[in-house]
Chain A
Amino acid sequence: MKQKQTATVISQREIAPDIYDMWLESALAKEARPGQFLGVYPKDRSTLLPRPISICEVDSICSTDGGRNALRLVYRIAGAGTREFSGYKAGDSVSLLGVLGNGFPLEQGTGKKVFLMGGGIGVPPILELAKRLEADKQVIVGYRDDKLFLKEDLEKYGRVYVATEDGSAGTRGNVMDAIRENGLEAEVIFACGPMPMLRAIKAYAAEKGIPAYISLEEHMACGVGACLGCVVKTKELDHHSHVHNARICTDGPVFEAAEVEI
Chain B
Amino acid sequence: MNTEVKIAGVTLKNPVMTASGTFGSGMEYSEFVDLNKLGAVVTKGVASVPWPGNPTPRVAEVYGGMLNAIGLQNPGIDVFLERDIPFLKQYDTKIIVNVCGKTVEDYVEVVERLGDEPAVAMLEINVSCPNVKEGAIAFGQKADALSHITGQIKKHARQPIIMKLSPNVTDIAEMAKAAEAAGADALSLINTITGMKIDIHKRRFAIANKTGGMSGPAIKPIAVRMVYQAAQAVKIPVIGMGGIATGEDAVEFLLAGASAVSVGAMNFVNPYATVEVLEGIRGYMERYHVENVTDLIGAVEG
Known A-B contacts A4-B32, A224-B31; the reply to A243 vs B59 at CB < 8 A is no
Q: Is the CB of A48 within 8 A of B271?
A: no
Q: Is the CB of B73 within 8 A of A243?
A: yes
Known A-B contacts A4-B32, A241-B73; the reply to A221 vs B59 at CB < 8 A is yes
Q: Return the contact of A48 from the options B22, B57, B61 (Cβ within 8 A).
A: B61
The B72-106 residues at the A interface (CB cut-off 8 A) are 73-76, 79
Q: Return the contact of A242 from the options B23, B50, B61 (Cβ within 8 A).
A: B50
Other 8 A-B pairs with CB < 8 A, given A2-B271, A45-B64, A226-B22:
A224-B28, A224-B32, A227-B70, A229-B56, A230-B58, A231-B73, A240-B75, A242-B50
Docked complex Cα distance between A244 and B50 (Å): 10
Residues of B within 8 A of A2 (CB): 31-32, 271
How many A residues have CB within 8 A of the partner chain?
Answer: 34
The A211-262 residues at the B interface (CB cut-off 8 A) are 218-232, 240-245, 250
Q: Mark B244-267, 1 if CB is under 8 A from A, else 0.
A: 000000000000000000000111
Residues of B within 8 A of A3 (CB): 32
Select from chain B the residue with minimum beta-carbon distance to A2. B31
Select from chain A the residue with minimum beta-carbon distance to B71. A228
Q: Is the CB of A226 within 8 A of B68?
A: no
Question: Which B residues form the contact surface with A (CB < 8 A)?
Answer: 21-24, 28-29, 31-32, 44, 50-53, 56-61, 63-66, 68, 70, 73-76, 79, 216-217, 265-272
A62 on interface, CB distance cutoff 8 Å: no
Q: Is the CB of B57 within 8 A of A219?
A: yes
Q: Return the contact of B64 from the options A48, A224, A227, A242 (Cβ within 8 A).
A: A48
Q: How far is the CB of A31 from chain B (nearest CB, A)?
A: 13
Known A-B contacts A2-B32, A219-B56; the reply to A47 vs B268 at CB < 8 A is no
Closest 6 CB pairs of A and B: A229-B59, A226-B28, A243-B52, A226-B24, A222-B268, A219-B57
Residues of B within 8 A of A45 (CB): 64, 217
Known A-B contacts A97-B271, A222-B267; the reply to A228 vs B52 at CB < 8 A is no
Q: Return the contact of B58 from the options A4, A224, A231, A244 (Cβ within 8 A).
A: A231
Docked complex Cα distance between A241 and B61 (Å): 24
Docked complex Cα distance between A144 and B18 (Å): 45
What are 12 contact pairs spanning A and B, CB under 8 A?
Answer: A3-B32, A4-B32, A4-B271, A46-B64, A48-B65, A48-B217, A218-B57, A219-B57, A230-B56, A230-B59, A242-B50, A243-B53
Q: Return the contact of A221 from the options B44, B66, B272 (Cβ within 8 A).
A: B66
Q: Is the CB of A219 within 8 A of B60?
A: yes
Q: Mark A161-204, 1 if CB is under 8 A from B, else 0.
A: 00000000000000000000000000000000000000000000
Q: Return the contact of A227 from the options B51, B56, B59, B74 (Cβ within 8 A).
A: B59
Q: How far is the CB of A61 from chain B (nearest CB, A)?
A: 27
